Amino acid sequence: MNYIEVLVPPATTKLTTLDTVKAELGIADNTQDALLNTLIEQASSFIKNYCEREFGRATYREFVPSYGNQYLVLSQTPVQSVEYIKLMDYEIPQSNYLILKDKGMIYSRYGWSWEILLYGKTVTSIPIPGSEIPIYEVKYTAGYVLPSETTDGERLPTIIERVCIDLVKIYYYSAQRDVSIGSERFGDYSVTYKENRIMEIANILDSYRRVI
């Protein structure tokens, strides 16, 4: 089990922008800005909770167990940089490992051993499954540059922003319709409230869920 601490939270958690949503909805004035911002926050929160991960760039300190192989598995992706990896306050040289950023893994050809210091002695053993001790401390930065940000770096996948925009549209139009109606047309945009649409969104988000 990993133990994680957020050292620097994301500058924003919104997965799309107000201007983008207004352009999609054909809204030119500012009378609904407060509502749309709230809907963007709700849609972004839904995606984050469903995927069980943070999408915005943040800095973490995470304590990670070793599984006796060549990989440490982190809980946040994509990994942009690793400041350090420590074992019992010993900082492991960066030349000893390679960051697999999209997988959220850190590879070392030397392996990540089970060894721990116990009562002044080094003990190596295969623990009972589920009892792995998070002995490696990793400080790293992970996540995407979100649509409203102008900083350099890997940007949020466009498909995630597309899902967020679609959810905002659904939220927006559902507030103006009879919820018992299966589908309804508003201007040039047709909203269909059927299970297959929800499944499409779920299928897209499933590939971005973080399970460790």
Q: For residue 62, which of 113, 110, 133, 134 has the smallest C-alpha distance?
A: 134
142-179 pLDDT, tens digit per residue, is: 999 999 999 888 999 999 999 999 999 888 887 766 44
pLDDT of residue 175: 73
SS3 content of the chain, % helix, strand, coil (to 5): 30, 25, 45
Residue 190 has pLDDT above 70, yes or no: no
Chain mean pLDDT for the chain: 84
pTM over 0.85, yes/no: no
12-55 pLDDT, tens digit per residue, is: 999 999 999 999 999 999 999 999 999 999 999 999 999 999 99
